[in-house]
Structure formats: C-alpha cells, structure tokens
Amino acid sequence: MIRIRHTDDAIHEAHEINVTPFIDVMLVLLVIFMVTAPLTTVNVPVDLPSSSEKPAPRPDDPVFLTVKADHGLALGESNISGDTLTTSLLTATKGNRNERIFLRADKTVDYGTLMSVMDKLRTAGYLKVALVNLQGQNEENSPP
C-alpha cells in the first residue's frame, strides 16, 4: 500500500475579507433610499412674494414680451400671436438670439401658460429670459 504524505498538514488562516455583511448593509441602504427618494419631492402650494431688492440696471433698448390676462401676447407695445412669436422676436432683436428677453405676465396667468411661452422662447433659440416683477415693494404694501 502506498501512503501519500502531506508535508503541510497544519491549518492555515484565511486572509480574505468576508464581504457578505457589507453587501447586506448596502442592499438595506439601497432599499431605504429607493423608498424615501420619492418622498423628497412634495407638491406644496406656493404663493410667491414680490421682490423688495433694488431693481437691476435696465438695458438701453430692452425687449419686453408680455403675457396678458387673456393669455394673449404682446411684444413691446404691439400685440402678436403665438405663431408669429419667433419672427417677431427675430425682428425686435435684429437676429441676436443672445439678447435677454424680459418676460412679464399678468398675476392671473396660470403657471402652465407661462411655461408654454417660455418653451416657445427656448424653441426659438432665446435662452436668456428674465422674469419681470414689481420691485421695491413688499407683499404687504402691494395693492390687492
């Protein structure tokens, strides 16, 4: 009978890190973040106040786009339609799409209509849009 002799019969220590608890903790954290992430965006009704800061310096020839209470548009003093907005803006800005457009809206205009006008401005290539409000007045001092 042949006997195989092992020269190394001593017990060796494993020098590996057991990552199973680490993975378990990471999976629990992942589940917690997946559950709590949608809760961080809450729909809260907001009544935005007017600004009480000093007005910014006005440019020499500003381009005002106004959204009226009846959702009509006016560029400067002339009424325009949503279809002619791009061509009217190109004429008013002399083709300079980097010029800042000052957007004014009536208090009664809903947020969706204002965003629709801003989307039209973005589609037309006007990315510099400033929202105009009554400056220098507190909300308590403004007329109802």
d(CA 28, CA 18): 17
- 39, pLDDT greater than 60: yes
Cross-strand bridge partners of residue 74: 66, 79
Could you report the per-residue pLDDT of 98-126, keeping only the tens digit for each?
888 888 888 888 889 889 999 999 999 99
User: Looking at residues 9-27, what average pLDDT do you find?
Assistant: 81
Domains in the chain, please, with CATH? Answer: 44-144 (3.30.420.270)
Look up the pTM and report it. 0.55
What pLDDT does 3 receive?
62
What pLDDT does 144 receive?
43
Cβ contact 85:39 at 8 Å: no
Closest alpha carbon to 136 in 53, 62, 33, 79: 53
Judge residue 140's burial from the number of C-beta atoms within 10 Å of its C-beta, 0-12 exposed, 13-18 middle, 19 or more buried: exposed
- 127, pLDDT greater than 60: yes
User: Looking at residues 1-27, what average pLDDT do you find?
Assistant: 76
Could you report the per-residue pLDDT of 63-81, keeping only the tens digit for each?
888 888 888 888 888 888 8
